[in-house]
Amino acid sequence: MKIRSIQLTNWGPFEGVHSIHLDVSAGSPVVVVHGENGRGKTSTMRSLFWCLYGTVRDGYGYKVPTHELVNNQCCNDGQSSEFGVQLIVEFDAKDYEISRTGKVRQMPDALNVESEELSFRPVGEHPYSESKSIDMINLMLEEAIADFYLFDGEKLASVEKKLNKNDSDGQQFVQRSVERALGLSFADRLMSDIESVSSGFSDAISGQAKLLDDSEKLVLKKQGIEADIENLASDKRKLVEMRASIERARGDIANKLQDFDLIRDRLVERQLLEADVLSDSKKLDEKREELRHEADSSWYWPISKKLDAITLDLEESYDKSKKIDESNSKTLAQLHLLESNLSSHSCSLCGAEVDESSKKGIESRIKDLHRQIGDQDFEDPIVFADQLRKLSGYREKSKRFPVLEELVKSIANSDLELLTKKSRILELGEQIGSVGNPDILMLENDKDKLTTRISESERLEEQVDAKISTERSSLKAIQLKIQESPDLDPVERKKLEISDALDQILRESYDEFRENMRLQVEAASSNILLQLSSEVEYQKVSISPKYQVAMLDTSHQVLPSPSSGYSQILALAFIGGLADVAGSDNFVVMDTPWGRVDRGNRKLIMKWIRERSNQTIIFVQSGELTPSEAREHFGNKMGRQLSIVRQGPNSSKIEEI
């Protein structure tokens, strides 16, 4: 592929329409485009990308927005204008016109791209459809490898950086580049096709293959389950052992606690009794205090029985004498009445005269009454009353004796109870003996913990049992399936084996192809390195199986940390190697490729360019190469020299030198 011309319309610094003629003969394939910074060298190279693929990426792979590529003076505010790039290229001895155009409108802040259109046609013929156009462009120069042919200083720097990175990013970049150069995408598609064929073949015998596969899977699954069951059984055994150990420990503690149970009961009883004794003693003290109070006014108490008897006697005597006294009083009254009647000879009640017969009767009665009074053992009740009065102090105090007696009885009972309790405390103390106060609480706590652990262990065992049961069910089901699986036909088995072998061969071939690609790029890069390097030590580019790129010396040892200039040369050799391996007779466009390369190596690069037979377009600035130097270096290989010159502010034009 060769570029005959580029026509830029309102592109980059090129306002209006600018044509660049790049057509060169096979004998003079070099085109040098001179231009100072900002004149439009990079814009021109980017125009090729944009025209072919519709996108432009910077050296770091970021997409450059189209409106930034368009000439920003092409239209006034609010107006629209056309922009675009037209290429005339030669491919397979035929000229084609590739044109990508669009319209932009100047908005207050920036240009707004309103439309874009691709046109591809053989010169003088009708345009192709868009899809065919894209196919044709990729046939001429696949987008994936375009940056091997169109690269600038930034791209070189980016490649250089990645080659210097000895990490997985750098290795992946190298691997992808190598695979792109050799069209691995095609190989991938081929591999995919092979797999489809293989899969189709497998499908054809899929029934048998599936049976075999299923059967093998079942056997594997069965083995897996058997292993799982064995592991679970092992876990179960460990759990049982652990539980037995815990149960033993718990048993020991339980025995200890059993021993302590009796003592614990005694300790508890003693503790309760001690509390009781304390409380009872307090109550007893209170009762004693009460008794002291009662006793203080009850000094008659010792003699109370005697005094009670005396009192009773006195009361009885008093009652008796009082009755006699009353009776005597009546008798005396009667006597007095009779004596009065006798002396007055008349009845004091009725006034009747007392005759002789009555007189005798009265006298007889008076005698009887005197005899009646005289016969009685009479003592004046006043005497008894006086004695009772002398006992009144006692009688008053004796009213409190029941309280005192109740207290005495209660104290005696309490004393007895207290004594019993104290005696029991002593007895318990002897029984508890030297055991002291064992930390029963701690032991019980330990026992509870162990019981919890046993429960946990039992729960885990149950879970393991459940799992084993489930696994055994699965195993049974699989065993049944395996038993029910029909035997594989020997012929079909053979076919499957052949299919597998074929698949294996194809995969190995694919890997071999990939390996060859690496070696081819390595050889091509080494070849270019030899042409570009002025140092004899730099003999070879090495691309390791892990896609690490390095320069080797004459004894094939890796040269550590090449200089900045040689890093750039290595990147150039790698890109050149990729371009060479990618094949075809494509053009190469290089934008300021010299960078940090010294004059010696720069000459070697130019020598390498001179020896190329394909169209090579180099964009340079005066610091890199002057027109006269270019003529001197490229001599008759120089096909054209162009210069991008300043036409006005932000405006350039291209002139032929």
Partner 1 sequence: MEQARSGIGVSRSVKPTLETLAEKYFESMDAAFMACVTLAIAKELPIVATGPVERTWHAGGRRQELLDFIAWHLSAADPVQMMEQLGHAGLLYAKDHLEKNSPFEAIFAP
- Interface positions with partner 1 (CB under 8 A): 291-293, 295-306, 310, 387, 390-391, 393-394, 408, 411-412, 415
Pairing between β-strand 588-591 and β-strand 14-21 as defined by DSSP bridges: unpaired
Q: What is the CA 443 to chain-centroid distance, rounded?
A: 39
Rounded CA separation 266/274 (Å): 12
Instruction: Please name every residue paired with 655 in a beta bridge, in sequence order, or none if there are none.
Output: 643
Nearest alpha carbon to residue 615 among 48, 134, 36: 48
Which is closer to partner 1, CB of 191 or CB of 408?
408
User: To the nearest whole angstrom, how small is the minimum distance from the Cβ of residue 386 to partner 1?
Assistant: 9
Q: Which is nearer to partner 1, 398 or 601 (CB)?
A: 398
- What are 120's strand-pairing partners? 98
What whole-number distance in Å separates Cα of residue 332 and Cα of residue 337? 8
CB of 394 to partner 1, least distance (A): 7
Among residues 655, 610, 637, the alpha carbon closest in space to that of 21 is found at 655
**Between 289 and 632, CB nearer to partner 1:** 289
Write down the least CB distance from residue 273 to partner 1, Å: 22
Q: List Cα–Cα distances, 221 to 214, 416, 467, 564, in angstroms.
A: 10, 85, 16, 59
Closest by CA position to 164, among listed 563, 582, 546: 563
Nearer to partner 1, 3 or 284 (CB): 284
Q: Which is nearer to partner 1, 289 or 456 (CB)?
A: 289
Question: What is the DSSP track for 31-96?
Answer: EEEEE-TTSSHHHHHHHHHHHHHS--B-TTSPBPPHHHHB-TTSS-BT-EEEEEEEEEEEETTEEE
For the bound state, the minimum distance from the C-beta of residue 405 to partner 1, rounded and expressed in Å, comes to 8
The greatest distance separating any two alpha carbons of the chain, rounded to the nearest whole angstrom, comes to 220
DSSP string, 528-565: HHHHH---TT--EEEE-TT--EEEE-TTS-B--S--HH
Closer to partner 1 by Cβ: residue 226 or 308: 308
Instruction: Give the shortest CB-255-to-partner 1 separation in angstroms.
Output: 47
Handedness of CA 466, 472, 475, 481 (dihedral sign): negative
Half-sphere exposure of 60 (CA within 13 A, CB side): 2
Q: Which is nearer to partner 1, 111 or 407 (CB)?
A: 407
C-beta closer to partner 1: residue 304 or 614: 304
Beta bridge partners of 117: 101
Provide the 8-state DSSP code for 342: H
**Whole-number Cα distances in Å, 527 to 523, 534, 570, 581:** 6, 13, 11, 11
Minimum distance from residue 381 beta carbon to partner 1 (Å)? 17
Q: Which is nearer to partner 1, 395 or 467 (CB)?
A: 395
Cβ closer to partner 1: 235 or 417?
417
Contact criterion met (CB below 8 Å) for 318 and 310 = no
Shortest CB 387 distance to partner 1, Å: 7
Q: In angstroms, what is the minimal distance from the CB of 404 to partner 1?
A: 9
